[in-house]
Amino acid sequence: MKTIINVLLALGALAVGIWVLPGESRGFTLLGGTLDLGQRDYRFFNNFNGASANSNTVADPDFPGALGAELAIWKGAAEWNSRLHGSGGTDTHQPDGIGSGRSNFDSFYAGLATEVGGVNDNTASMISGFSSVHAFLEFPIGDGWRIRFFEGPDSWQDQPDMAQWSGPFPWDIQGTMTHEYGHALGLDHTTVPGATMGVPTQLGVGLRSIEDDDRAGVQFLYGAVSPSKPVIETYSLAGNLVTLRGRNFHPTHNEVWLTQLIPGGDGTPIKVTHLASQSGGTELAFTFPALAKAGEVAVKLPGFTDADLSAPFPIDPNQEPYYHRPLSYGTSKVTSSGSTPAIQVVGVPSLQQGSFELDVSNGPTFGMGIVLSATARNAMPFFGGTLWLAGHIERERVFNHQFGFARLNVPFPPGAVPGESRFYQVWFADQGDPQGVGLSHGIWVTFAE
Ligand SMILES: [Zn+2]
């Protein structure tokens, strides 16, 4: 009986977690102004001169074609976007993924600049000098902005992992960019502790992940995500022909934006215009332009509202998105017997079958488990662990296991289409746990044809 009671309690709490809105401790303030669709592009002039600012040589598949400080700057701005950037990455400092704004606001990384540029050129760069503030934004923003990082006294750090940092007075490029870009899109400082627009923590790393107050701010300025906003879910390649797959593309007049190959320019993305969509506005095919590079792609509809630009999606003209493979994220709660639960998709989650196989391992010794799923990912404290799912949560199936192992068939959601994504997590009954609950990490599954 205890097991069943625990299940009911946990699911009761889950429902509360879904319906209760964040607290009323609203603290965000406004700078004055917003960025229209002509100001969403930004570039980076990489004049960072310390060795620790350009030391990261590990590519991130969610941010193709960039390393070092460029990668850190790009990730910093992308955190404000309406949707996860590709899979959202695996940075433990950003457990809900990169791209957490969930508003109609989306930025566009246009590529490298070759100079600092003017105050309205939408660039980030280093400035020689010394200040108690680490960086600043030049505004008003409405006709463009400029972000400067002070050369001293900081040793600017580009490594995602603080264990790789070096030098005196280390400070995080990525988190600082997230904060400064928050100013660029129209937010001033907040009094809410822990917010990105608040006081820095963890040498700036604590600013990388925007929090509820920051999200409330960007949603106040740009509105919650419109159901009509175009969405890029994935893409496929045939030579240099790219087919974007998603939804809400215009029948005849789409514009595709891409990151420029050659550093310089004025920030205008490389564009392919007057593109007609196929398959009911779910496919968009174009030839990858010679002047574009691995970076990001966005779709703009005719019109000038915030909902007319898609979230950018990572694109590499030489490689299809790696997150066709299921990708795990977050961490599991250690069970009462000391094991760390893991879940893994077996093979390719192909819609040609009615379900996909999920391997569960290292759960509590025995008992009941539930496979949960949702359309978005999250990182919310939950029964001594973390709930890795957001929004409406489905119970996919209930199962019994022994020694923490099970292989399960999980049905695809009704009407699922190729390229569609869903997030999964397993809840366990754990009788030896003080709260009776075990929790796996999350897994992001993109459905294949
Ligand atoms: Zn500030």
The DSSP call for residue 13 is H
β-strands 342-346, 394-402: how paired? unpaired
* Residue 103 CA to ligand 1 centre (angstroms): 21
* Residue 171 CA to ligand 1 centre (angstroms): 15
φ, ψ dihedrals at 287, nearest 5°: -85, 130
Cα 143 versus chain centre, distance: 27
The DSSP call for residue 206 is G
The pLDDT assigned to 328 comes to 85
pLDDT at residue 265 tops 50: yes
Dmax (CA) for the chain in angstroms is 69
- Class of domain 231-321 as given by CATH: mainly beta
* Residue 136 CA to ligand 1 centre (angstroms): 7
The pLDDT assigned to 296 comes to 98
The pLDDT assigned to 8 comes to 30
The pLDDT assigned to 213 comes to 97
What stretches of 55-164 adopt beta strand conformation (E)?
Answer: 108-112, 123-130, 135-138, 146-152, 155-157
Residue listed under structure tokens 């966005």: 298
Band (90; pLDDT cuts 50, 70, 90)? confident
* Residue 180 CA to ligand 1 centre (angstroms): 6
Domain ranges of the chain: 2-19+325-446, 37-222, 231-321
* Residue 436 CA to ligand 1 centre (angstroms): 43
Band (16; pLDDT cuts 50, 70, 90)? very low
* Residue 164 CA to ligand 1 centre (angstroms): 26
CA atoms within 13 A on the CB side of 235: 31
Residue 346 pairs in a beta bridge with 357
Mean pLDDT for all residues in the chain: 91
Fold matches, 37-222 and 231-321: no
* Residue 167 CA to ligand 1 centre (angstroms): 24
Q: Which fold has domain 37-222?
A: Collagenase (Catalytic Domain) (3.40.390)
Provide the whole-model pTM.
0.81
* Residue 179 CA to ligand 1 centre (angstroms): 6
Query: Coil, strand or helix: which one is 355?
Result: strand
The per-residue pLDDT for range 298-357, each reduced to its tens digit, is 999 999 999 999 999 999 999 988 666 788 888 999 999 999 999 999 988 999 998 999
The hierarchical CATH code for the domain 2-19+325-446 is 2.60.40.10
